[in-house]
Structure 1
Amino acid sequence: MSSPTLHAVSSGDTGPRIAFCHGLFGQGRNWTQIAKGLTDIARPTLLDMPDHGRSGWTDRFDYVADADIVADTLRGIDADEPWVVVGHSMGGKIAMLLALRHPELVSRLCVVDISPAATTSFTEFETYIAAMQAMDLDAIESRADADAAMQEAAPDAGVRAFLLQNLRREGSGWRWQPNLEVIGRDIATIGGWPQDEIAGLPPFDEPVLWLSGARSRYVTDEDEAQMRRLFPRMRHVTVKDAGHWVHSEQPEVTVAALRALITSDR
């Protein structure tokens, strides 16, 4: 399996380093607003995950491999001190595995609206992927055309805008930035959890903040036992008036929660 270089943008001059791992079809820049709210107390790094944004592609989706790639990237940026790591959805699973496999690299962890378990919720993305792959890019003249082409698969305008951020102008045409072939083929793996690969690893014994959306179904009551087994110092906060994209729907709450995590005593 290839090990791609990850695109990373860092900012801030003081405080601990904090890395952001976005979800499926996201990009590091999706966390820009949150990062700006932390630059007075931390040094944020916005990462594009493998097969997304400006990062390189792999030949298959593998959570453990992706966590190791992120670990290598963070060490390359700053290997002298541990990181606060924030991960949403797919990126949350990568962040969890990063903490479990490389605990010396992570001082604190924030997981946003995902659990260490397989979920059927990612199946909604299958419809989006099919529509993205079926889009005739040669016939697209504007983003309005692309928006219209996605409307049946993604009726919600916000979801369409999120997906279409991945459509980039290239010369006189268009291309998708994500690795749609691998993502589409391995969507079941993306919805899964590599339980066998982490068997025998000790729990992550540093502070963990769990943020889940009150209107989301990605974190269930049944997940709590596994969350606490792997992350015994976990605090679970349900964010009101938020669905799956907690940080986009409730940015002020997210910033306040992260500031508390960063500045709190152990």
Structure 2
Amino acid sequence: MPDAPARSTPARSAPAWFTEALATPADTGEVEVAGVAIGYRAWGARRSHGAAGQGLVLVHGGGAHSRWWDHVGPLLVQGRRRVVALDLSGHGDSGRAQDYRLDRWADEVVAVARHAGAGERPTVIGHSMGGFVALTAALRHGHDLTGVMAVDSPVRERSPEELAARQQRAFGPMRVYPGRETALSHFRLVPEQEGDLPYVLDHVAGHSVREVPGGWSWKFDRGIFSGLGLTPGELDSVACRVALFRAEYGLVPADMGEMVVDLMGRAAPLVEIPGAAHHVMMDQPLALVTGLRTMLADWEYSVPQVPARAPGS
């Protein structure tokens, strides 16, 4: 899949780890799921289908895209993993669907994992609304997954992106801007936050727009923000491991995280990322990588725990 041009503003004081991550070669591919072309990027060597627990699938939030993970994915390869980041339908460079549902997106995640060579029983990591998708994948395909990790996903409520759209605070009628730089000047996070690393923000913004008739516009389809709620009470029936991450200054209060952990019979660890706001990869990416690496290392050697009422448990 062709990459969008990078934002014209040079990366502002980007450290070596960031520039090296972006320079890591990535495979690109596409698979059709339910009649819609789903694009993805991948780092690390392909895994055979019999290679268990060696693949990761990264799922972006609502209105975002796979390039939010460009500086995170390569740091999770660690020499042996296949790491895949996809554009859900209605996002990024993937195709548009007539309607959008969490189960559709969960099926896309599993299909991409297989097509991209993520091996048998990969782990799915989702941020914000992407955490809703990851948890839905656990409900629908848990026996085919090692586990899922949801990063600052307020599963007791609507996703922050859907809520902002319903309240008309963001994601309004799709605007067309006369030039690329004009469009980029309107890029902002939802919800907004302080402390973002400017070089990360520049990179993500630069891959968030596309040329359309009459100018430039955002890549996402506004139709994605309908009917996405996930009921936490369902989470006691997942058949794979689950881990929850909350940002210290994010959208998942400590009591909400504990409520979900209780619903799952205390089988899901809850990890706080210190100093982070909701968009963790924007302000605390290395802390996020450290937390994910630690949990992945634990899952390689510890005895799996799943909710008490999970099928087959």
TM over 0.5: yes
Cα distance, 1:34 vs structure 2: 1.2
- Tell me how far 1:210 sits from its aligned partner: 1.6
Alpha-carbon offset, residue 52 of structure 1: 0.3
1:124 matched to which residue of 2? 164
**Which position in structure 2 is the counterpart of 1:202?**
237
Q: Does the 8 A contact of 2:148 with 2:240 survive in 1?
A: no
Q: 1:169 aligns with which of 199, 202, 211?
A: 211
In the comparison of the two structures, how many residue pairs are matched?
A: 252
Q: Secondary structure at the match of 2:154?
A: coil
Q: Distance in 2 between matches of 1:218 and 1:3?
A: 35
Residues 36-89 of structure 1: per-residue CA shift (max 9 Å, x gap): 112224210011111101112111221122212222222333485110111001
Identify the residue that residue 40 of structure 2 maps to in structure 1. Answer: 8
| Farther off after superposition, 218-227 or 244-253 | 218-227
Give the structure with the larger strand fraction: 2
Match for residue 281 of structure 2?
247
One-letter amino acid of the structure 1 residue matched with residue 239 of structure 2: F
- Counterpart CA distance in 1 for 2:294 and 2:66 is 22
> Which range moves more in the overlay, 249-258 or 119-128?
119-128
* 1:179 has 2:221 as partner: yes
Asked if structure 2 preserves the Cα contact closer than 8 Å seen for 1:85 and 1:110, the reply is yes
Alpha-carbon distance between aligned partners in 2 of 1:154 and 1:101, rounded to the nearest angstrom: 29
Give the C-alpha shift of residue 3 in structure 1: 4.3
Instruction: Answer 1 or 2: which has greater helix percent.
Output: 1
The partner residue of 2:183 within 138, 146, 168 is 146
Among 229, 252, 260, the residue aligned to 2:263: 229
State the alpha-carbon separation in 2 of the partners of residues 33 and 149 from structure 1. 23
TM-score normalised by structure 2 residue count: 0.69
Identical positions, percent: 21
Given that 1:205 and 1:231 are in contact with CA atoms closer than 8 Å, whether structure 2 keeps it comes out as no
Q: 2:59 corresponds to which residue?
A: 21
Query: Aligned-residue CA RMSD in angstroms?
Result: 3.3
Instruction: Indicate the residue corresponding to 1:68 in structure 2.
Output: 107
- Residue of structure 2 in register with 1:113 after alignment: 152
Aligned counterparts of 1:149 and 1:205: Cα–Cα separation in 2: 40
- Of the structure 1 ranges 102-111 and 45-54, higher mean CA displacement relative to structure 2 is found in 102-111
CA contact (8 A) 2:156 2:230 kept: yes
Q: Kindly indicate whether the alpha-carbon contact (under 8 Å) linking 2:146 and 2:240 is maintained by their aligned counterparts in 1.
A: no
Secondary structure, in 3 states, of the residue corresponding to 1:56? coil
Instruction: Return 100-109 or 113-122, whichever deviates more.
Output: 113-122
Per the alignment, in what secondary structure is the counterpart of residue 282 of structure 2?
helix
1:149–1:248 CA distance, 2 compared to 1 (3 A): closer
Cα contact 1:121–1:218 (8 A) shared by 2: no
Unaligned runs of 5+ in 1: none
Deviations 1:168-213 (A, max 9, x none): 1358732432112x135x2xx23x21569x58x723342x332111
